[in-house]
Amino acid sequence: MSGLRTARRPIESPVEAKKRVGRILAALNQSVPDVRVELDSSNRLELLVATILSAQCTDQRVNLVTPNLFARYRTAQDYASADPAELEALIRTTGFYKNKARHLIGCGQALVQHFHGMVPGTMEDLTSLPGVGRKTANVILGSSVGEPAIVVDTHVKRVANRLGLTRSQDPTKIEEDLQRLLPKAQWTVGAQRLLLHGRYVCLARTPKCAHCVLASDCGWEGKQKLL
């Protein structure tokens, strides 16, 4: 829990907050220039499948599984008519494979029945699919559809709290807080940079504060003992 405590910063005026967010985004732009989603995919359906598999699993592990999976299942209809046991065997190492297989089959069926086999491009339609919440939908919207979207995963949740960009632990509320603070044009890349910063620098248990480009704008109470 200590890694998720909200930073205790002095109360900022809207102008001060805007300036600090600008500095944070600029620093991340320099330190994390590549904002590519680290899930391998070649189309929107593959990205949807990979993102569903990434729940409670690393992107690296998903990327080991998906080549064989994508070679076997190429269309929404393929997933809709998949044999559960065969699909489960292919995705077993991603964890929670029975639930994930059920979601993938359900997604395929919903895509065939309601979207002509195509992955839709709106939040409402995406979140109507089995196993798809706001996080997964925002990955699709930001990285495939091209709509401004803020993905809130465990890394974004941790970094946003440590930086004092939110005081919430609820992903939807965090998304709303970041939407207010970040320029809309920066939603997708800004959130992805926060995610990658959390994955590689602002770690949960042993954050690399001494090497963090955001240290001067971070009020996290655990920072000082790591500098």
Active-site positions?
135, 153
Is residue 168 classed as helix, strand or coil in its secondary structure?
A: coil
Tokens describing residue 110? 């919903």
* Residues 132, 48 contacting (CB under 8 angstroms): yes
What are the CB-based long-range contacts (under 8 Å, 24+) for 35-41?
A: 35/188, 35/189, 35/192, 35/193, 35/196, 37/139, 37/143, 37/192, 38/63, 38/196, 39/63, 39/66, 39/139, 40/66, 40/67, 41/66, 41/70
Neighbours of 169 (CB within 10 A): 13
User: Cα dist. 174→38, 211, 217 in Å?
Assistant: 22, 26, 19
